[in-house]
């Protein structure tokens, strides 16, 4: 860790030329990898908040100088117009995810995949921190395409969903995300919240604020159930009558909906298409001209993967799991996988840097890169000429057929 602002400035001056705090050039053709690693870690864990702020600005400025800037997918249909099938892929990340961002970028580059969306899924993390880490990962991996970032906000407290926040807190967080150059925000509401006038009005106010901040909105309806009803669809239309969402985000159960139901929900919101979260088989992705599914949102359950990896510290694991089980009585009835899913955010906060330091987990990294490659192929994102597996993986990764998707990835998505 840098012990002072002077030490930090010396380290920055060795890599960049700075003009009023902004990067105006590079000292050498290639950045020193260890220097980027140090900047990323200090931007999160250094105890001096002024130092953290300077580093976050420098990392974002350096990425922008390289031409790697934050962009928005104003129209996913146009973005995908060159493909006859396939969809966008959104990856949910949280915590100190610098190493994971590097892993994802390395896999994407080896398969010719550029249109990834990085979603900040942990409310305990500053949008500025997430943005800076993504910039650092782009510098480290020589990422050459725009960065698509999305902030996923907690639900409204009036909706009575777990983890809800008051409107003022959500408005402040949305404004922070806009200042950190997040161009899309995902807002959440339940069917019960849509039917509650107060929740619906507060949601509309957040959507108006997002528009004033220049952000596009994805609307996620939590657990829509099997019955719609005219009242619910009317409430959905009222909630989106002023600001139409870019995408309507639904759980993976929506893959079982009839096409007519998907069209009805889209018409009620005015959204361009549907975003599916969870296990999604490729045959579910509808094709033009209907093509309502434009995005697949994937959660690789990174905490579970890392903590339960054989290479992960046994001592840390034996200390962490009992600590997580202490939070609720039934936890002794679930296995370690379910425990980590249930208390993912507690594990993130408890382990901090150690959880995301993947240098000591080479096998986990290789397996994750290989699985990302199979996901790219299964969702038809990989370019035809791209390799079927990353260069550093022992053996090719064959594309998944629609019949083996969920068998190969039980619970992965």
Which range is most confident: 71-75, 115-119, 234-238, 298-302? 234-238
Angle of helix 33-45 versus helix 49-65 axis, rounded to 10: 140
65 sits in which H/E element: helix 49-65
pLDDT tens for each residue of 254-281: 877 888 888 899 999 999 888 888 654 4
Q: Above 70 in pLDDT, residue 397?
A: no
d(CA 55, CA 131): 12
274: helix, coil or strand?
Answer: strand
Q: Around Cβ 224, how many Cβ atoms within 10 Å? A: 20
Name all domains of the chain by residue range, CATH numbers in brackets: 5-65 (no CATH), 68-413 (3.20.20.70)
**Residues contacting residue 230 through CB under 8 Å, at least 6 positions apart:** none
Which range is most confident: 121-125, 184-188, 261-265, 299-303? 184-188
d(CA 317, CA 342): 16
Per-residue pLDDT, 195: 94
The alpha-carbon radius of gyration of the chain (Å, integer) is 21
Per-residue pLDDT, 86: 58
d(CA 345, CA 224): 25
pLDDT tens for each residue of 146-171: 888 999 999 999 999 888 999 999 99
């Amino acid at each position: 860790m840098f012990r002072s602002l002077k030490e930090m400035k010396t380290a920055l001056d060795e890599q960049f030329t700075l003009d009023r705090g902004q990067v105006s050039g590079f000292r050498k053709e290639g950045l020193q990898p260890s220097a980027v690693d140090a900047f990323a870690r200090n931007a999160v864990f250094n105890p001096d908040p002024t130092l953290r702020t300077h580093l976050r600005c420098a990392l974002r400025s350096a990425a922008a100088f390289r031409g790697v800037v934050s962009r928005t997918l104003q129209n996913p249909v146009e973005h995908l117009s060159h493909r006859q099938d396939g969809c966008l892929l959104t990856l949910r990340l949280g915590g100190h995810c610098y190493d994971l961002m590097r892993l994802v970028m390395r896999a994407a580059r080896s398969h010719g995949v550029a249109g990834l969306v990085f979603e900040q899924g942990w409310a305990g993390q500053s949008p500025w921190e997430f943005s800076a880490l993504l910039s650092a990962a782009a510098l480290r991996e020589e990422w050459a395409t725009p960065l698509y970032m999305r902030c996923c906000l907690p639900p409204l407290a009036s909706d009575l969903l777990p983890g809800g926040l008051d409107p003022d807190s959500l408005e402040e967080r949305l404004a922070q995300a806009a200042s950190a150059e997040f161009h899309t925000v995902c807002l959440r509401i339940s069917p019960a919240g849509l039917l509650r006038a107060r929740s619906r009005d507060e949601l509309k106010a957040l959507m108006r604020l997002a528009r004033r901040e220049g952000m596009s909105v994805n609307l996620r309806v939590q657990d829509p159930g099997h019955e719609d009803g005219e009242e619910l669809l009317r409430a959905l239309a009222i909630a989106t009558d002023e600001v139409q969402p870019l995408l309507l985000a639904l759980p993976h159960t929506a893959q079982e909906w009839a096409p007519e139901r998907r069209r009805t929900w889209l018409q009620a919101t005015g959204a361009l298409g549907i975003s599916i979260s969870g296990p999604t088989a490729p045959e579910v992705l509808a094709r033009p001209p209907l093509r309502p599914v434009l995005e697949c949102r994937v959660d690789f359950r990174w905490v579970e993967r890392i903590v339960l990896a054989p290479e992960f510290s046994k001592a840390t694991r034996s200390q962490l799991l009992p600590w997580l089980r202490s939070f609720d009585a039934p936890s002794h009835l679930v296995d370690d996988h379910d425990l980590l899913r249930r208390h993912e955010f507690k594990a993130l906060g408890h382990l901090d840097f150690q959880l995301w330091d993947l240098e000591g987990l080479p096998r986990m990294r290789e397996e994750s890169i290989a699985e990302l490659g199979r996901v790219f192929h299964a969702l038809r994102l990989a370019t035809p000429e791209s390799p079927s597996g990353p260069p550093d993986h022992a053996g090719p990764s064959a594309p998944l057929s629609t019949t083996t998707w969920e068998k190969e990835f039980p619970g992965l998505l």
